[in-house]
Chains A and B, each alone.
Chain A
Amino acid sequence: QMQLQESGPGLVKPSETLSLTCNVSGGSISRYYWSWIRQPPGKRLEWIGYVFFSGFTNYNPSLKSRVTMSVDTSKNQFSLELTSVTAADTAVYYCAGHPGAIRHFDYWGQGTLVTVSS
């Protein structure tokens, strides 16, 4: 049973870059695809994008210009960077794993709240 845990700053200033890391334990990061999903307060879940252990990525077109995802196989971690953040990027950010590029989300992290505010 794989477990995921997000980490990163809980507060980011407007126009700066949001950076989060997801640590994967209980299995190899090369087995799955890895997504970031967020949920702004009172709003629905929004898929941000995914990364594969090879480095292949696929992003939501609505965020593509500001998103970068990467994998560190030596640490069994993957990361999210979101540039030029605004208050609209305030959300609970989840990392999640899925067994294929076009598959359901099997594993989820607990989520981490990131607030964008000066």
Chain B
Amino acid sequence: EIVLTQSPGTLSLSPGERATLSCRASQSIDSNYFAWYQQKSGQAPRLLIYGGFSRATGIPDRFSGSGSGKDFTLTISRLEPEDFGVYYCQQYSSAPRTFGQGTKVEIK
């Protein structure tokens, strides 16, 4: 199965700053089958990005996804207070679909 490794483990930033989250796959992935989710404490994950770069319904344009092959990135252009939480990458290119271990974005 494909292993996804996210970095950094924790990102400490202030509102208004830019956040760059990385996800590396153990083997090449079709970017059309890659997603990012946000999870806040005690809540279910929420879909942010699918198909590598398409924003889900209602997701603001400060969130953007990019990447190809083994390396993928989620960028939050200007952090808002509601953006703090844990972010997971996920691939559904190869069975079984797998998730990264998460990056926590916390308030500095």
A44, A61, A94, A111: the one within 8 Å of B96 (CB) = A61
Residues in chain B near residue A106, CB distance under 8 A: 47, 56
Q: Report the Cα distance A46→B98, complex, angstroms.
A: 7
B90, B101, B102: the one within 8 Å of A104 (CB) = B90
- A47–B97 CB distance below 8 A: yes
Q: Report the Cα distance A61→B96, complex, angstroms.
A: 8
- Considering only CB atoms, which chain B residue lies closest to A63 in the complex? B96
- A47–B44 CB distance below 8 A: no
- B50–A104 CB distance below 8 A: yes
- A109–B44 CB distance below 8 A: yes
Please give the number of chain B residues whose Cβ is less than 8 angstroms from any Cβ of chain A in the complex. 22
Q: Report the Cα distance A102→B96, complex, angstroms.
A: 10
* Chain B residues touching A, majority SS: loop
Q: Report the Cα distance A47→B2, complex, angstroms.
A: 13
- One digit per residue, 1 when the CB lies within 8 angstroms of any chain B CB and 0 when it does not, for chain A 30-62 equals 000000000000011111000000000010111
Residues in chain B near residue A111, CB distance under 8 A: 44
Among A103, A105, A109, the one with the most B-chain Cβ atoms within 10 Å of its Cβ is A105
* Chain A residues touching B, majority SS: loop
- B92–A103 CB distance below 8 A: yes
- A108–B44 CB distance below 8 A: yes
Some 17 contacts from A to B, beta carbons below 8 A apart, are A44-B99, A44-B100, A44-B101, A44-B102, A47-B96, A47-B97, A47-B98, A58-B95, A60-B96, A61-B96, A103-B92, A104-B35, A104-B50, A104-B56, A105-B47, A108-B44, A110-B44
Chain B positions within 8 Å of A, measured between CB atoms, are 33, 35, 37, 43-47, 50-51, 56, 88, 90, 92, 95-102
Chain A positions within 8 Å of B, measured between CB atoms, are 43-47, 58, 60-62, 94, 102-106, 108-111
